[in-house]
Chains A and B, each alone.
Chain A
Amino acid sequence: MKYMLLIYHDEPSWAALSEAERQQVYVEFRKLRADLLTSGQFVTGSQLQPISTATTVRVRDGKELVTDGPFAETHEQLGGYFLIEAKNLDEATAIAARIPSARTGSIEVRPLVETVAEATA
């Protein structure tokens, strides 16, 4: 199964880290990515630019509405994601627990909807 691991963290505290501390976290991220590549579980993944760069698009009555920022303010912001291949939820959550941000923020684990072709193949 494919799972999306959505990484939520508190942006201000991330920004408050020293450069050395941040590099340390990046090292961990790269290590995890390398491990998942080796085990064949990595599909894709990336860090996201901060929420200040976000734009929201809505189409209402055929009219496109483009606004600044996200819709609602929450305590934690989406800061990145991994798309992984895992045997089941336990395997997926075990990988999620290895994401450095799990220690300070939280990881939302969401299974992808399997396409009809895949489900009946």
Chain B
Amino acid sequence: MSQARETLEKVFREEYGRIIATLIRISGSFDLAEEALQEAFTSAASKWEREGTPDSPGAWLTTVAHRKVIDAIRRDNIRTDKQAEIAFELSRLQPYAETELLEYPDDRLRLIFTCCHPSLVREAQVALTLRTLGGLTTTEIAHAFLVPEATLAQRLVRAKQKIRLAGIPYEVPSLEVIGERLAAVRAVLYLIFNEGYAASAGQSLIRSDLCAEAIRLGRVLCELLPNEPENMGLLALMLLQDSRRDARVNDQGELVTLEEQDRSRWDAAEIAEGVRLVQAALSLRRVGSYQLQAAIAAVHAEAKHADETDWRQIVALYGELMRVTSSPVVALNYAAAVAMSEGPERGLDMLEAAGAGGALENYYLFHASRADLLRRLGRLAEAADSYTTALPLTTNQVEMNYIQRRLNELNRRRKDDNFE
């Protein structure tokens, strides 16, 4: 790959969100900003190849795209107040080096909040965040979420249209609502991560490009709003989960449980960063669910072998998590931790209690966990029933294979028992 091409791809990954955020503020239009930046990248491709890459490629692209935005607005002859604003922007546009001035530090923050605005459905928030802030193409996003490209394109068009027509603001929300808006932003990033980490459908369990993108956006969020403990908690959680990525699936593409994973394959750098982050977050003394989940992941990460896991500490952290956000899924994990700390019997009781409301009835992990505990208690027939219930509840091939493997083992053991 030529050097110009390489630089361009790097700048695209790293600067796309930053530049587009500024262009949207200036143009007031997602579409106009996207078009202008696309054109700027196209010009860069040929110009850099001929004349070499500029000293500050990001600034170069911003300036060129900015000019294209202004040209487009002029062509469209948009309202007068906008023109005054443009004249103001133009006056700041002169030499390339001054383009840094163009960027307001909170442009990307505005963009994040607009993309994750509660008046957009979650799917639209996710698509818009990946498209604009992440710079992923429509094709890439469609592939990652296994939806037809036309569906995704339509989703983006509708979302951008709603932003424009409904007047969704391009600004950092007021103090009264920023807390809940931030929670929505974190939910979007974590959903992107999870879609990558435990792909809800398809052949492979992990789509690492989505994980990497979510982590990158998590870093951006921490950088833009420093010392916000839940943001740090989210980034820490994603890093710690991602650190186990290579060990989670074996060479045959089979799911490997935490207990059975080869811990030497865990990513030490990600663990170190995650642990450091979660400690820093907890020291701010505003505990929240991401921090607690990250702390639990950190306890796992610090055990060299599965049997060195400090289950008592994990149980304590789950107790705290239940206090902050009690949900059936958290209760399920709490029960699984108690099973490790105090034995499968006590864990099973708690598991049954968590599922008593029926909320976990269609949740594959509930039945799979129940089956695991029954198996450990030697109640093999019931265990087999639970695995059988779990099987049709997942659409992920790797998870299905895992259950099937367990089921086969059980059936072998039961046959052996019968012959004794």
B173→A111 contact, CB < 8 A: no
Contacts of B77 in A (CB 8 A): 120
B166→A111 contact, CB < 8 A: yes
B169→A89 contact, CB < 8 A: yes
Q: Bound complex: CA of A93 vs CA of B118, how far in Å?
A: 11
Name the contact of A90 in the complex, choosing from B78, B80, B165, B177 (C-beta under 8 A). B177
B79→A89 contact, CB < 8 A: no
Q: A111-B165, A111-B166 are in contact. Are A90 and B174 (CB under 8 A)?
A: yes
Q: Is B64 an interface residue (CB 8 A)?
A: no
Kindly report which residue of chain A lies nearest to residue B168, judged by CB atoms: A89
A120→B79 contact, CB < 8 A: yes
Q: Is B119 an interface residue (CB 8 A)?
A: yes
A92→B79 contact, CB < 8 A: no
Contacts of A88 in B (CB 8 A): 167-169, 171
Contacts of B80 in A (CB 8 A): 121
In the assembled complex, 9 residue pairs joining A and B whose CB atoms fall closer than 8 Å, in A order, are: A87-B169, A88-B168, A89-B167, A90-B168, A90-B174, A93-B119, A109-B166, A111-B166, A121-B79
Kindly report which residue of chain B lies nearest to residue A120, judged by CB atoms: B79
Chain B 146-173 interface 0/1 with A at a Cβ cutoff of 8 Å (1 = within):
0000000000000000000111110101
Contacts of B169 in A (CB 8 A): 87-91
B142 to chain A, nearest CB (A): 28
B21 to chain A, nearest CB (A): 17
Kindly report which residue of chain B lies nearest to residue A86, judged by CB atoms: B167
Contacts of A111 in B (CB 8 A): 165-167
Contacts of A92 in B (CB 8 A): 167
B311 to chain A, nearest CB (A): 45
B 214-256 contacts with A by CB, 8 A:
none
Chain A 108-121 interface 0/1 with B at a Cβ cutoff of 8 Å (1 = within):
01010000000111
Q: Bound complex: CA of A111 vs CA of B119, how far in Å?
A: 13
Q: Bound complex: CA of A91 vs CA of B177, how far in Å?
A: 11
Q: Bound complex: CA of A111 vs CA of B169, how far in Å?
A: 13
Q: A1-B167, A88-B167 are in contact. List 12 more A-B contacts (CB 8 A).
A: A3-B167, A87-B169, A88-B168, A89-B117, A89-B166, A89-B167, A89-B169, A90-B169, A109-B166, A111-B165, A120-B78, A120-B79
4 nearest interchain CB pairs? A88-B169, A88-B167, A1-B167, A89-B167
B 55-107 contacts with A by CB, 8 A:
77-80
- Name the residue in B77, B78, B169, B173 with the highest tally of chain A Cβ atoms < 10 Å from its Cβ: B169
Q: Bound complex: CA of A90 vs CA of B168, how far in Å?
A: 7
B173→A90 contact, CB < 8 A: yes
Interface size on A, residues (CB 8 A): 15
Size bracket of the B interface: 10 to 19
Kindly report which residue of chain B lies nearest to residue A1, judged by CB atoms: B167
Contacts of A91 in B (CB 8 A): 169
Q: Bound complex: CA of A89 vs CA of B181, how far in Å?
A: 14
Contacts of A1 in B (CB 8 A): 167
A 63-121 contacts with B by CB, 8 A:
86-93, 109, 111, 119-121
A 48-67 contacts with B by CB, 8 A:
none
Q: Bound complex: CA of A93 vs CA of B174, how far in Å?
A: 13
A95 to chain B, nearest CB (A): 13
B 84-140 contacts with A by CB, 8 A:
117, 119
A58 to chain B, nearest CB (A): 28
Contacts of B173 in A (CB 8 A): 90
Contacts of A86 in B (CB 8 A): 167
Q: Bound complex: CA of A92 vs CA of B166, how far in Å?
A: 10
Kindly report which residue of chain B lies nearest to residue A90, judged by CB atoms: B169
Q: Bound complex: CA of A86 vs CA of B169, how far in Å?
A: 11
B6 to chain A, nearest CB (A): 41
B82 to chain A, nearest CB (A): 11
Contacts of B78 in A (CB 8 A): 120
A115 to chain B, nearest CB (A): 13
Contacts of A120 in B (CB 8 A): 77-79
B373 to chain A, nearest CB (A): 43
Kindly report which residue of chain A lies nearest to residue B117, judged by CB atoms: A89
Q: Bound complex: CA of A120 vs CA of B73, how far in Å?
A: 12
Q: Bound complex: CA of A109 vs CA of B162, how far in Å?
A: 13
- Name the residue in B77, B166, B167, B173 with the highest tally of chain A Cβ atoms < 10 Å from its Cβ: B167
B3 to chain A, nearest CB (A): 44
Q: Bound complex: CA of A96 vs CA of B227, how far in Å?
A: 33
Q: Bound complex: CA of A121 vs CA of B78, how far in Å?
A: 8
A112 to chain B, nearest CB (A): 10
B110 to chain A, nearest CB (A): 12
Contacts of A93 in B (CB 8 A): 119
Q: Bound complex: CA of A121 vs CA of B77, how far in Å?
A: 10
Q: Bound complex: CA of A89 vs CA of B119, how far in Å?
A: 9
A26 to chain B, nearest CB (A): 27
Q: Bound complex: CA of A87 vs CA of B119, how far in Å?
A: 16
Kindly report which residue of chain A lies nearest to residue B81, judged by CB atoms: A121
Contacts of B167 in A (CB 8 A): 1, 3, 86-89, 92, 111
B146 to chain A, nearest CB (A): 31
